[in-house]
Amino acid sequence: MRTDSFKGRDFITLLEWSKEEVETILDCARDLKRRYAMGELHDHLLRAKTLFMIFYNQSLRTRNSFEAGMTQLGGHAHYLDPEKIYTPAMEGKEVAYSTERVSDVARVLSRMGDGIAIRCYGDPVDWVYGAANTLIREFARWADIPVLNMEDDKYHPFQALADILTTWERFGTFKGIKFVMSWAYSPSIHKPRAVPQSAIIAATMMGCDTVLCHPPEFELDPEVIAACQANAQMNNASFTITHDFESAFKDAHVVYPKAWAPKCLFKPPVGEGDEQKAKAINESYKHWKMTRRLMETADHEAIYLHCLPADRGWEVDNDVIDHTDVLRGWRSAVYEQAENRLHVQKAVMTLTMGGRL
Ligand code: CP
């Protein structure tokens, strides 16, 4: 397909990209991965370009894959700590000489560089569901350069691209692939919904038979669920929701259990903002852990995925996540999945910040 339309676009959620466009991104990611493996330089693609990265939250994979990716493409990724600049803030949330209005930050950075990437969820927006996505969209409204979502409170689109690239590499198809995104227990309740929501959007968009499994109190955004149902219908595939952890993984090709916050943690109107209730609910599902016994109910060739960091011993046993080096049978693919962040991000950056003139 023609890629002229990619140039200058924001990348906030896969819901704003067509299936054909996402397939093109995956093609480019595979090509960049091949070049990287062969030692072929491709540092002309974004030579002398700058990506500004604003992290309101911590990160290992996202920060380092964007930085390494920009280096490999010939450009530079510039890390910005919101506490060390005038914290970009929405109108009405400003503090004199401590914050700076998002519209000003976005327009200033647009005069100096070629892309703005932002991570924001949870505490910086006081667990008001959707407020971080609104902040990123405010950046996009004012910036003249692409705005990339490095994870907000709704979406983590680059993680989802890595998830489906890893799935494709294992199976070479999405048709007939049972992709199970499940909640799993963690002692921390402060985890956004961005990863599971983006994973099910990507899996249904690509035509996997997608299963979402969680305890009833951990439901996801109804708009995301509706989008997944529409995707599945369009692809003649299935999308089902279950609350049965024991049976969800039966014959699964992709096993993706991870923790996210119960709905009641979020501030009204989405939840009740009730931290004590959230903790009590969370503790009642301690047994939702991925074990070797459960992995063995999945397809013989299944892969275990996790966006990382994983809470070992709580979300997953060591003998599942560390079961990586096998020629046959199910295995953990978490390090390929983490590496694939690099390749998909390089593809999106090249297509949106560089590409055809
Ligand atoms: N998966 C992921 O986004 O990892 P980081 O939080 O380390 O960036």
Are 144 and 200 found together in one domain? no
Same domain, 300 and 183: yes
Is 9 contained in some domain? yes
173 plus 125 within the same structural domain = no
Domain presence at residue 29: yes
CA angle 123, 120, 151 (to 5 degrees): 125
C-alpha–C-alpha distance, residues 291 and 182, integer Å: 13
Placement of tokens 């090709």 in the chain: 253
Q: Is residue 293 domain-shared with residue 213, that is, in the same domain? A: yes
Same domain? For 214 and 300 the reply is yes
Domain contains 199? yes
Whether residues 141 and 190 share a domain: the answer is no
pLDDT value of position 356: 60
Flag residues of the chain having pLDDT under 50.
Answer: none
Q: Give the total number of structural domains in the chain.
A: 2
90 and 165 together in one domain: no
Q: State how far the Cα of 324 lies from the Cα of 108, in Å rounded to an integer.
A: 46
Q: Using an 8 Å Cβ cutoff, are 78 and 49 in contact? A: no
Probe residue for ligand 1, chosen from 341, 342, 344, 345 as the CB with the greatest number of ligand atoms within 8 Å: 341
- Residue 257 placed within a domain: yes
Please tell me whether the overall predicted TM-score, pTM, comes out greater than 0.95 for this model: yes
**Ligand 1 first shell, C-beta below 6 A:** 59-62, 151, 159, 307-308
The CATH number linked to 31 is 3.40.50.1370
Shortest-distance Cα residue to atom 1 of ligand 1? 307
Q: For position 351, what pLDDT does the model report?
A: 97
In a domain, residue 357? The reply is: no
State residue 183's pLDDT score. 98
Distance from the alpha carbon of residue 220 to the mean position of ligand 1, in angstroms: 20
At 357 the pLDDT is: 52
How far apart are the CA of 54 and the centre of ligand 1, in A? 14
CA distance 8 to 145: 6
The Å distance, Cα 61 to ligand 1 centre, comes to 5
Q: Which domain holds residue 14?
A: 4-154+340-352
In a domain, 69, yes or no: yes
The predicted pLDDT at position 337 comes to: 98
* 143 shares its domain with 168: no
